[in-house]
Amino acid sequence: MSEFDYDLFVIGGGSGGVRAARVAASETGAKVALAEEDRYGGTCVQRGCVPKKFMVFASQYPSFAEDGAKYGWEMTSGAFNWPVFSDKLHAELDRLEGVYRKLLSGAGVETFDARAMVKDAHTVQLSTGETKTAKHILLAVGGAPVTPDVPGAELAITSNEVFHLERLPKRMLIIGGGYIACEFACIMNGLGTEVTQFYRGAQVLRGFDDEARGLVAEEMQQNGVDLHLGTNILEMRKEADGICVKATNGMEDHYDQVMFATGRSPNTKNIGLEEVGVEIGRQGEVVVNEYSQTTVPSIFAIGDVTDRVNLTPVAIREGMAFVETVFKANPTPVDHELIPSAVFTQPELGTVGLSEEEACEQEEIEVYCTSFRAMQTSFADRPDRVLMKLVVSKATRKVLGCHIVAPQAGEMIQLAGIAVKMGATKEDFDRTVAVHPTMSEELVTMRAPVRTG
């Protein structure tokens, strides 16, 4: 008999926590419990990637209908019925929550619909009043949106609330220039809302390849997003005609809805971490080593709460590596190098590896790049452009970075990511025969560099 109630107690039922709990229980026979205070599936399934992607799909139909007409179809998109979509969306999220719960119970994980706090290195206190002990505790509590402290901030929503709007706003202001701000600017614009976006910096999507983010911003504006760079919010107040917002550029305007997409921070407050000696970093993140172990040896942490690479598949990997390390006696660090990812703007931005700017700092490079109008949209008389770009090491010929701006760039970068992760050289790309006619064939047909650096 173990001296503990469980071998593992997981706090947080999001993608990372559920995977770790499930695999530990089903593959190693460990006795596992998991506590979740909200809905199972966490940010990704309930308030993030999944509902966002459904909204991306919904928002694209008007342009499909417009293009369809150019292809000879007699069609118009008509009006968008938000309640119809919203009801279906929430029914789907309910279904997915059920799937997550079933996965856990099927694996023999005991679940608690409760908030959990860490009481000591092996003890968890539940909001139900119960106390449970475990040999290992895994923190997978994720993160939450942060909002700037401006007068009237309470009038705005965040990505947590955007999926629960009762009606589609006519005029919406989105503040921020990161993933969430840009994705929702495109989504709401596509759904028919008049979208204004403020970003405080010189160009949105800071950290991504300059040329790629420049094209995304250009396309967003061309599609109707009223993007104001170098602009931030000063204050807002409720008026009869909506929320009145004063901006740093002197603008004063009214909106039906204002959304902050100004970053997220780890959920490390009020769960007893510092009290038991778990080190918290400067951004409020749980500090972990390469095995996701905190400064308290029996406590581990994965996913957004560690603020390493805040993406669902990374949290899942970290959860699996934790199980390998702790329950399969196979110490497995997580490889955070060359992670492909996509921003689901319209057009999408798919990226893996170094931006041109980062690569240039590191070594001498060649840049292969082409930007063009894709067949499908150019036939429909759209001015939209796509971008295919490879950043190549002069010394090793390895492709250091691949950046794609195009419809379905997320799908493309998943595959290009395999080649880049394998260390493919520019010549390996060149040896690959083009798939014709596609947009991504340009990745294997670019002969001469457009720049060296």
What residue ranges bind ligand NDP (CB under 6 A)?
A: 148, 175-181, 183, 199-201, 206, 232, 261-264, 310-311, 341-344
The per-residue DSSP string of 29-68 comes to ---EEEE-SS-TBHIIIIISHHHHHHHHHHHHHHHHHHHH
Rounded Cα distance, 193 and 187, in Å: 9
CB 286 within 8 A of CB 301: yes
Rounded Cα distance, 80 and 59, in Å: 9
The owner of tokens 């039922």 is 13
316 dihedral zone (left: phi>0; alpha: psi -120 to 50; beta): alpha
Q: What is the dihedral of CA 343, 348, 354, 360, to 10 degrees?
A: -120
Report which residue type is found at 204: V
- Helix, strand, coil percentages for the chain (3-state, nearest 5): 35, 25, 40
Q: Is 166 exposed, middle or buried (0-12, 13-18, 19+ CB in 10 A)?
A: exposed
Q: How many Cα atoms within 13 Å fall on the side-chain side of residue 229? A: 11
Residue 436 bears catalytic tag: yes
Q: And the tokens for 104? A: 């856990």
Which residue's CB is nearer to ligand NDP, number 199 or number 368?
Answer: 199
Closest residue to ligand NDP: CB criterion? 178
Least separation in angstroms between residue 54's CB and ligand NDP is: 14
Q: Which of 82, 19, 63, 5 is nearest to 320 (CA)?
A: 19
The answer to whether the Cα torsion of 204, 89, 310, 273 is positive or negative is: positive
**Residues designated catalytic:** 436
